[in-house]
Every structure is written in structure tokens, then in C-alpha cells.
Amino acid sequence: MSSPRFRFGLERVREIRAHDEDRAKEAFAAGLAQRMRGASLLAAAANQVDAAHATRREGAAAASGSDLVSMQAYLDRVEQSRRDAERTLAQSEAALAERRVELTEASRRRQALDRLKERRAAEHAAEAARREGAFLDEVALSAHVRRLPPRDRGGMSSGDAA
């Protein structure tokens, strides 16, 4: 006896949710890469600020007034660059946190359908096993009844009619 194949009615929805989860993973990976670039830019900007401070300290004794003004202007620009890099990094981290939440939610939605699919597949298998067991019981009973002598089958034999 063959039973119908299991078919999950929400398979298309599950596939869409798996696709959504994949897109959320990609967005999270892009956000992580952006955060890494921001951290790298911040480190470079901090190094520039340190180098500008060192240059100012080393050259301050022999520098003219206009040299000191230009050194200070350069120091102000690199410090502004560092602040911009800090702000960019903070924005990247906030976006990354949002993407992490989106990924978690997408994963949760897909896993819910995966669990439902597994539960329905198990129910289908149990029902198929129950039907197959009932069929085999019926076959066994039929074979047993055929082997019984006619008087034990519940019918009347020729000697019983009186």
C-alpha cells in the first residue's frame, strides 16, 4: 500500500522567509564590513592626530608665527576628521544593531515554519504508519479467516442445518 507523499502547504512561504533571512544575513555582513571600515578610518584619524601633535611639539621652537598658525589649522582639521570618523563609526554600529535585530527576527520567523514543517511531516508519517498498520492487520485477518474451516467462519455448514 502506498501512501500519498508529504506536501507542506506553506512551503512557498517558508522559502520566502528563508530568502528574507538570507537577505538579512547579507545586510548584516555589509553592516559589519562598514563598521570595520569605520573602525579603520577612526584608527587612521587618531594616528593622524597623534602625528600632528608630535609635529607641533617638535617644530614649535623653530617655527614662525605663520607656521604655528598653519600647524594649528592642520591640527584642527585632523581633529575634526577624527570626530567625523567617530560619528560615522557610531552610526555604523547603530545600523549594525538594527540589522542584527532584523536578522534575528527573520531567522525566528523561518525557524517557526521549519518547526511547523517538521511537526506536520511527523504527523503525516504517523498517520501513514497507522494506515499501513490497519491495512496489514486487515490482510492478516483475511488470510487467517481463509484458513479456518467453514464451520468456524461464522457461517452455517451443511451438517448444521437441521
- What confidence score (pLDDT) does residue 152 get? 61
- What confidence score (pLDDT) does residue 66 get? 86
Q: Domain-by-domain residue ranges, the chain?
A: 11-116
pTM of the model: 0.69
Neighbours of 120 (CB within 10 A): 15
- What confidence score (pLDDT) does residue 111 get? 96
CA dihedral 65, 66, 68, 70 (to 10 degrees): 170
- What confidence score (pLDDT) does residue 147 get? 83
| pLDDT values of the chain reduced to their tens digit, one per residue, 162 residues | 566 899 999 999 999 999 999 999 999 999 999 999 999 999 999 999 999 888 888 877 777 888 888 888 989 999 999 999 999 999 999 999 999 999 999 999 999 999 999 999 999 999 999 999 999 999 988 888 888 776 765 555 555 544
Q: Kindly provide the residue ranges of all beta strands, DSSP E only, lying in 59-134, ordered along the sequence.
A: none
- What confidence score (pLDDT) does residue 79 get? 95
Lookup result for grid cell 530568502: 19
